[in-house]
Amino acid sequence: MTSDQFGDIPENVKKVLTVLIGFGYRYDLRFFDQGAHHAHQAAKLLKCPLGAVVKSLVLIIEGKSEFVLVLASGQNRVDIKSVSNVIGGKVFPAKPESVLIMTGFPVGAVPPFGVEGDPTVIIDADLLSFQDVWAAAGSENYLMGFESSWLPQLAKGSVFNIKEA
């Protein structure tokens, strides 16, 4: 399926879905008039557990032009020190205007894969405890669901315990 066969959905969403289809994975795409800027909003709209919502956080590596994409369970706060230890350098949250420039997506719409810049991706181990997870699909109004076991391959990421204690 090519991106023009998706119908009347935003180009950013088509780009993300193309990654899923490229792997041959099934997905569920949902549109909401009311956008989901935060994990708790997405969970409420989807009527799913907060932990099954993927938060995509963009962190900057101090002194480098690279960024890290952290995929966290909606129920968890990320331990920045743990991420810094995994990366081997200090990290800090990117400003919203930088997120758009670095990833090609605005805050609240950053998907777990298909972003610009080929970042290092760190996946919160708790996400894999859910059969299915939900994430932004490139727009705050579109959410996609898929099997959590696919996340490391889709995101080209590594799984770590990164939640705050």
In a domain, residue 165? The reply is no
In a domain, residue 48? The reply is yes
Domain containing 52 equals: 3-160
pLDDT digits (tens, 9 = 90+) for 53-87: 999 999 999 998 889 999 999 999 999 999 999 99
Q: Which has the higher per-residue pLDDT, 165 or 139?
A: 139
The number of residues in the chain equals 165
pLDDT digits (tens, 9 = 90+) for 82-102: 999 999 999 999 999 999 999
C-beta contacts of 13-17 below 8 A and 24+ residues apart: 13/137, 13/138, 13/139, 13/142, 14/138, 15/114, 15/138, 16/111, 16/113, 16/114, 16/137, 16/138, 16/144, 17/137, 17/144
The lowest-confidence range among 5-14, 23-32, 148-157 is 5-14
Confidence of residue 5 (pLDDT cuts 50, 70, 90): low
CATH of the domain at 7: 3.90.960.10
Lookup: tokens for 15: 């780009």
How far is C-alpha 28 from the chain's CA centre? 15
Number of domains within the chain: 1
In a domain, residue 66? The reply is yes
